[in-house]
């Protein structure tokens, strides 16, 4: 059973090694013991559904509504853990066929409801925050629309229903020996439709491509018509309308089918841990690899604080002690930076790629420590997100922001993002662990993903105000450095105040025109994008 | 000086070897000797400009108007060669700065004119066909906006004015040791803005990317506002508005600046000629290479008739005779298919790639004949388009169509395209040479590029009617096989009647909404897209 107030399956815990707990205590002070609101308490505080007359197949019970009204952003957590869930969608339905989906949209229109598509509920950008008004909302949970409808090996295309989650999709493709290779950290729950609607990027997108490359075509039900994009390998026939669905955040309609570009499952895969003596060498190495044509599958580069914290969180105190000693000897550095390099393909290719990567890095000081760290990362790649539950129980919050920028802006932006966070907490006489990694690299730049760990306050409003202040300071900093609002999480309500600046007046107006023209009555007015 | 009624520089001829001329005569019969209309005769037939009062910097003389009103499609040729150019734009201006460009757009709006951006004029899809009504048209020739404005080596980004032609762009980048690598056959004249507005693809896009990948951001002046897209390496912040400029065909405004993703000039480049005994083996080889992760720069696969004709057109009768003998011995085939494989990169990489390519092709029967044919192709890559002038002078027309489809549809589509062309000409007791190649390959499919060579008629209307019939039959065939209207040439007026079918009712409506909302008064209503 999925946790109603945190990440993931309620039966799964991600324990923190004792040394890591002590480290946090030393770095941040002991966290408070919070008394999380119980589900029952939270449900009775919810406003009554404004969904007027019952309809068979549409639930208005409080728990169903609650479960489809919040995501995984820090405010989403705060609201549930402090039992502050007054607002929720008014009704929830789970169609099992396209016919049922169409009928639900018809009913939504008839009742003048807002129709809100819902997938895995893993948004960390506040996509689901319900509107506070009298107009009813009907959330359509798409997770039962999850079948593989067609598979064409020679064309490397699979047609899938958009409610399909990562594991369900991969299991269906694996029967044919294929994979999509789209592995965002939310993989366990997030869905194909959600990936498309938020322009998601998987951890191994350097080989497999972002969802923009993987989404070959598909079908959406909009307010006035269906949109169907055929899975051409490429086309120059006018603007590519797929790109109106990509990033549409539910605002243009319900994406219900997708043609995906699939690949045979790889024969071999390695994740290697390379260490650099300092950030300057490390980011140069990342850029050189990104600007080569080497088709590695992943490059993830932690700055020195993140490297240090990851080693501390890993446990294995003795092994880490010797690793640090070894790196001091080999690199002359106490603050090394860890690069995880993913190589995926035929066994021979993987060996060749490693040799080529090391040749590219030859002008730099770098130490390859083999696969042990990478194996641990791989094992926990969809599990470390469970750490949020553990940290909360110790009185700590973890929040993240991410952006993408040209290479020349990466280091100044990263430093400034961490700095504004530290300054904000310092002003409250609090401390924060602020550290970053580059998660996706491109020839012209990369993403920067920053994490903030800090003590929770016992007061709900205080936590929320602090989050808002942090979000504001960090997002302003990102924009001042020429970064995008989001590389992989989307806009949601959390980034919406800044979207106008990113798009400019003309771009914003064009987006508004587009949405208003495609949905004149606001059938899909879920508060995202405009 | 650019030819006013054909392709390219008037001082350049592309002579046809005598054997090739004899072959055409045998295959198609002798072409008629046509008396091309003179420029002077054509100019006096033109309708008077409806541009009311003179404005400094805006020309209304007939030759300027004529030169910016036609492209390179067969109807464009027929109209000029037969002196049928009644319709033309009413005024032409050539801004030298952004300020002048804005002033021209302002004047266009004030006069209720249609404002038509113009680049290299190389469209083969009828993008410039003027409207036959009383509203004046103001064509803005952007070719003097051609400066490199900013170059950032580490970010691999160049900001360039959109009127820059291929050679001018490459010369400016070459000073930094860089290249864009975008080489469509129209390279000599086509411009950055034109590439973006028609979603163009260069011959080596397999390495460098289509213009969608190369266009990192940019600026356009639309009817109501400016649109500026920042050059993020990637973003998930809402729909990617760049994709509204890509393929916009002038209909949303004037693209005037572009951030382009550039690369260092390669150290080494080879174009190898591989031969397969038959089409089935050849297309299997193309698919296997396309579905590997090998970063070759080009793959161009001719079917057996195109291979035969290319060998005949090449001259070098003796060498070709021995090549055919050699291929008969090695492959046991009289109808081999030629694959040109482009390998680009560091010298060592290029050698490795060749070994890898041959390993991938190992299950097939294939003969590598080295670089001679590829060198000849490279030398003439932007010259063989001059052949259209030569063929016309011999009384033959050459027309081409292209599409892209999933692999499973490629062979049936290609055969059907050639077949409908042959049937149409047979019904007139005429013959046609109809042959094809795959010019761009992807994991999920490829483009099919078909060429038709046939005798011209002495009658203008007869030629035009025949072209329209051929276009209709072939385009219907493409759509029946699940192909797109265009892989690299755009929609223009020639493909517009079929666009509704490609986009479907919902997609068409969304595109209409988008254009009408962005340009409510039709300031850029050049007749493209809607």
Residue-wise pLDDT for B440-491, tens only, equals: 999 999 999 999 999 999 999 999 999 999 999 999 999 999 999 999 999 9
Kindly determine whether residue A240 and residue B231, on different chains, have CB atoms separated by under 8 Å.
no
What is the pLDDT averaged over residues A104-133?
93
Q: Cα distance from B290 to chain A (closest Cα, Å)?
A: 11
Kindly determine whether residue B489 and residue A236, on different chains, have CB atoms separated by under 8 Å.
yes
Tell me: the pLDDT tens digits for B298-309? 999 999 999 999
Partner-chain residue, chosen from A237, A243, A406, that has the shortest CB–CB distance to B499: A237
Name the active-site residue from A70, A208, A449, A460.
A449
How would you list the strands of the sheet with A91-93, edge to edge? A58-59, A91-93, A137-141, A114-118
Beta-carbon contacts of residue B25 (< 8 Å; ≥ 6 apart) = none
Partner-chain residue, chosen from A154, A408, A518, that has the shortest CB–CB distance to B155: A408
B367-368/B441-442 β-pairing: unpaired
In degrees and rounded to multiples of 5, residue B311 shows phi and psi of: -65, -40
A interface test, pick of B234, B246, B294, B296 with most A CB neighbours within 10 Å? B234
Q: Cα distance from A1 to chain B (closest Cα, Å)?
A: 30
State residue A253's pLDDT score.
Answer: 97
Is the pLDDT at B313 greater than 90, yes or no?
Answer: no
HSE toward the beta carbon, residue A300, CA cutoff 13 A? 24
Kindly determine whether residue A241 and residue B199, on different chains, have CB atoms separated by under 8 Å.
no
* Alpha-carbon radius of gyration of chain A: 23
Partner-chain residue, chosen from A234, A239, A295, that has the shortest CB–CB distance to B244: A239
**What ipTM was predicted for this assembly?**
0.96
Q: Cα distance from B485 to chain A (closest Cα, Å)?
A: 6
State residue A299's pLDDT score.
Answer: 98
A255 shares contact with chain B (CB less than 8 Å): no
B446 shares contact with chain A (CB less than 8 Å): yes
B15 with B390: CB under 8 angstroms?
A: yes
Write down the mean pLDDT value for chain B: 96
Kindly determine whether residue B484 and residue A446, on different chains, have CB atoms separated by under 8 Å.
no
State residue A315's pLDDT score.
Answer: 81
B435 part of the active site: no
Q: Cα distance from A370 to chain B (closest Cα, Å)?
A: 24
Is the pLDDT at A129 greater than 90, yes or no?
Answer: no
Separation in Å, CA B17 to CA B22, B303, B318? 9, 22, 13
Is the pLDDT at B431 greater than 90, yes or no?
Answer: yes
DSSP state of B30: P
Tell me: the pLDDT tens digits for A460-498? 999 999 999 999 999 999 999 999 999 999 999 999 999
- In this prediction the pTM is 0.97
Q: Tally Cβ neighbours within 10 Å of residue B1.
A: 6
The B residues from 460 to 479 touching A (CB cutoff 8 Å) are none
Is the pLDDT at B111 greater than 90, yes or no?
Answer: yes
What is the pLDDT averaged over residues A408-436?
98
**C-alpha closest to that of B345 among B289, B273, B263, B274:** B263
- The yes-or-no answer to whether A1-30+382-489 and A38-141 have a common fold is no
Beta bridge partners of B432: B454
The A residues from 97 to 126 touching B (CB cutoff 8 Å) are none
B174 with B168: CB under 8 angstroms?
A: no
Both ends of chain A: CA-CA distance in Å?
A: 34
Six token digits for residue B368: 């590598």
The A residues from 227 to 246 touching B (CB cutoff 8 Å) are 227-241, 243-246
Tell me: the pLDDT tens digits for A131-187? 778 899 999 999 999 999 999 999 999 999 999 999 999 999 999 999 999 999 999
Kindly determine whether residue B229 and residue A491, on different chains, have CB atoms separated by under 8 Å.
no
State residue B113's pLDDT score.
Answer: 96
B516 shares contact with chain A (CB less than 8 Å): yes
A226 shares contact with chain B (CB less than 8 Å): yes
Kindly determine whether residue B239 and residue A224, on different chains, have CB atoms separated by under 8 Å.
no
Q: Which residues in chain B touch residue A216, judged by CB atoms under 8 angstroms apart?
A: 444
Kindly determine whether residue A517 and residue B514, on different chains, have CB atoms separated by under 8 Å.
yes
State residue A314's pLDDT score.
Answer: 83
Q: Cα distance from A63 to chain B (closest Cα, Å)?
A: 30
Beta-carbon contacts of residue B269 (< 8 Å; ≥ 6 apart) = B297, B342, B343, B344, B350
Is the pLDDT at A130 greater than 90, yes or no?
Answer: no
Kindly determine whether residue A236 and residue B249, on different chains, have CB atoms separated by under 8 Å.
no
The B residues from 402 to 421 touching A (CB cutoff 8 Å) are 404-408
A138 with A109: CB under 8 angstroms?
A: no
Task: Kindly identify which residue of chain B lies nearest to residue A515, measuring between CA atoms.
Answer: B514
A266 with A345: CB under 8 angstroms?
A: yes
In degrees and rounded to multiples of 5, residue B318 shows phi and psi of: -65, -45
A225 shares contact with chain B (CB less than 8 Å): yes
Partner-chain residue, chosen from A233, A406, A499, that has the shortest CB–CB distance to B445: A233
Is the pLDDT at A249 greater than 90, yes or no?
Answer: yes
Q: How far, rounded to the nearest angstrom, does the alpha carbon of residue A509 sit from its chain's CA centroid?
A: 27
Determine whether A438 is exposed, middle or buried from the number of CB atoms within 10 Å of its CB (0-12, 13-18, 19+): buried
The B residues from 159 to 218 touching A (CB cutoff 8 Å) are 198-201, 207, 210, 212, 216
Is the pLDDT at B132 greater than 80, yes or no?
Answer: no
A300 with A438: CB under 8 angstroms?
A: yes
Q: Which residues in chain B touch residue A446, judged by CB atoms under 8 angstroms apart?
A: 233
**Architecture of the structural domain at B31-141:** 2-Layer Sandwich (3.30)
Beta-carbon contacts of residue A220 (< 8 Å; ≥ 6 apart) = A226, A227, A245, A252, A253, A254, A255, A256
State residue B134's pLDDT score.
Answer: 83
Is the pLDDT at A333 greater than 80, yes or no?
Answer: yes
Is the pLDDT at B131 greater than 80, yes or no?
Answer: no
Kindly determine whether residue A506 and residue B227, on different chains, have CB atoms separated by under 8 Å.
yes
Beta-carbon contacts of residue A420 (< 8 Å; ≥ 6 apart) = A473, A474, A477
A interface test, pick of B154, B222, B235 with most A CB neighbours within 10 Å? B235
- In the annotated binding site of B, the residues are 117-123, 198-201, 249-255, 388
What is the pLDDT averaged over residues A300-318?
93
Beta-carbon contacts of residue B359 (< 8 Å; ≥ 6 apart) = none
Q: Cα distance from A58 to chain B (closest Cα, Å)?
A: 28
B interface test, pick of A233, A407, A481 with most B CB neighbours within 10 Å? A233
State residue B133's pLDDT score.
Answer: 80
Partner-chain residue, chosen from B249, B295, B440, that has the shortest CB–CB distance to A234: B440
**Architecture of the structural domain at A1-30+382-489:** 2-Layer Sandwich (3.30)
Specify whether the backbone of B313 is left (phi greater than 0), alpha (psi in -120 to 50) or beta.
Answer: alpha
State residue A258's pLDDT score.
Answer: 98
Kindly determine whether residue B489 and residue A407, on different chains, have CB atoms separated by under 8 Å.
no
Q: How far, rounded to the nearest angstrom, does the alpha carbon of residue B49 sit from its chain's CA centroid?
A: 30
Q: Cα distance from B235 to chain A (closest Cα, Å)?
A: 4
Confidence category of residue B60, pLDDT binned at 50, 70, 90: very high
Q: Which residues in chain B touch residue A442, judged by CB atoms under 8 angstroms apart?
A: 233-234
Partner-chain residue, chosen from A241, A486, A503, that has the shortest CB–CB distance to B511: A241
Is the pLDDT at B43 greater than 90, yes or no?
Answer: yes
What is the pLDDT averaged over residues B423-432?
97
- Return the CATH number of B268-381, one of 3.30.70.3450, 3.40.50.970, 3.30.479.30, 1.10.3720.10: 3.30.70.3450
**Architecture of the structural domain at A38-141:** 2-Layer Sandwich (3.30)
Confidence category of residue A63, pLDDT binned at 50, 70, 90: very high
**Domains of chain B by residue range:** 31-141, 148-264, 268-381, 495-520+526-530
Kindly determine whether residue A249 and residue B263, on different chains, have CB atoms separated by under 8 Å.
no
B88 with B208: CB under 8 angstroms?
A: no
Kindly determine whether residue A513 and residue B509, on different chains, have CB atoms separated by under 8 Å.
no
Six token digits for residue A363: 């002008």
What's the CATH code, domain A148-264? 3.30.465.10
Kindly determine whether residue B442 and residue A234, on different chains, have CB atoms separated by under 8 Å.
yes
């Amino acid at each position: 059973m999925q946790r109603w107030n945190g990440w993931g399956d309620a039966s799964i815990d991600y324990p923190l090694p004792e040394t890591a707990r002590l480290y946090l205590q030393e770095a941040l002070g002991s966290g408070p013991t919070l008394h999380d609101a119980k589900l029952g308490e939270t449900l009775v505080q919810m406003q009554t559904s404004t969904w007027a007359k019952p309809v068979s197949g549409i639930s208005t019970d409080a728990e169903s509504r609650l479960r489809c009204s919040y995501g995984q952003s820090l405010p989403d957590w705060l609201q549930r853990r402090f039992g502050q869930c007054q607002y929720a969608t008014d009704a929830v339905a789970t169609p099992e066929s396209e016919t049922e989906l169409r009928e639900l949209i018809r009913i939504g229109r008839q009742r003048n409801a807002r129709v809100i598509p819902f997938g895995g509920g893993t948004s960390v950008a506040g996509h689901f925050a319900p509107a506070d008004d009298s107009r009813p909302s009907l959330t359509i949970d798409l997770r039962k629309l999850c079948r593989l409808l067609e598979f064409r090996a020679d064309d490397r295309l699979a047609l899938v229903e958009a409610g399909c989650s990562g594991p369900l999709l991969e299991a269906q493709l694996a029967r044919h020996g294929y994979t999509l290779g789209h592995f965002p950290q939310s993989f366990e729950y997030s869905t194909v439709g959600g990936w498309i609607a938020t322009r998601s990027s998987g951890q191994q997108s350097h080989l497999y491509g972002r969802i923009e490359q993987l989404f070959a075509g598909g079908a959406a039900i909009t307010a006035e018509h269906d949109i169907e994009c055929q899975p051409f390998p490429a086309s120059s026939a006018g603007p590519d309308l797929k790109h109106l669905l990509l990033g549409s955040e539910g605002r243009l309609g319900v994406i219900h089918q997708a043609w995906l570009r699939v690949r045979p499952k790889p024969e071999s895969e390695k994740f290697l841990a390379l260490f650099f003596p300092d950030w300057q060498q490390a980011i140069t190495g990342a850029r050189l690899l990104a600007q080569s044509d080497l088709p590695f599958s992943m490059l993830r580069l932690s700055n020195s604080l993140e490297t240090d914290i990851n080693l501390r969180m890993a446990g294995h105190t003795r092994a880490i002690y010797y690793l640090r000693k070894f790196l001091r000897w080999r690199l002359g550095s106490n603050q090394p930076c860890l690069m995880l390099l993913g190589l995926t393909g035929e066994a021979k290719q993987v060996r060749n790629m490693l040799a080529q990567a090391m040749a590219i890095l030859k002008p730099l000081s770098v130490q390859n420590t083999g696969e042990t760290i990478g194996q641990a990362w791989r094992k926990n790649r969809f599990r470390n997100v469970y750490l949020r539950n553990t940290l909360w129980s110790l009185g700590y919050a973890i929040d993240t922001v991410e952006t993408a920028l040209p290479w020349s802006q990466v280091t100044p932006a990263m430093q400034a993002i961490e700095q504004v966070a530290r300054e904000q907490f310092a002003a409250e006489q609090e401390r924060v662990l602020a550290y970053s990694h580059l998660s996706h690299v491109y020839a012209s730049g990369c993403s920067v993903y920053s994490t903030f760990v800090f003590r929770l306050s016992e007061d709900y409003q205080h936590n929320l105000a602090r989050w808002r202040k942090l979000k504001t300071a960090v997002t302003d900093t990102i924009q001042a450095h020429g970064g995008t609002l989001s590389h992989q999480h989307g806009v949601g309500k959390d980034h919406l105040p800044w979207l106008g600046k990113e798009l400019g007046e003309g771009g914003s107006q064009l987006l508004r025109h587009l949405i208003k023209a495609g949905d004149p009555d606001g059938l899909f007015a879920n508060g995202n994008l405009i």
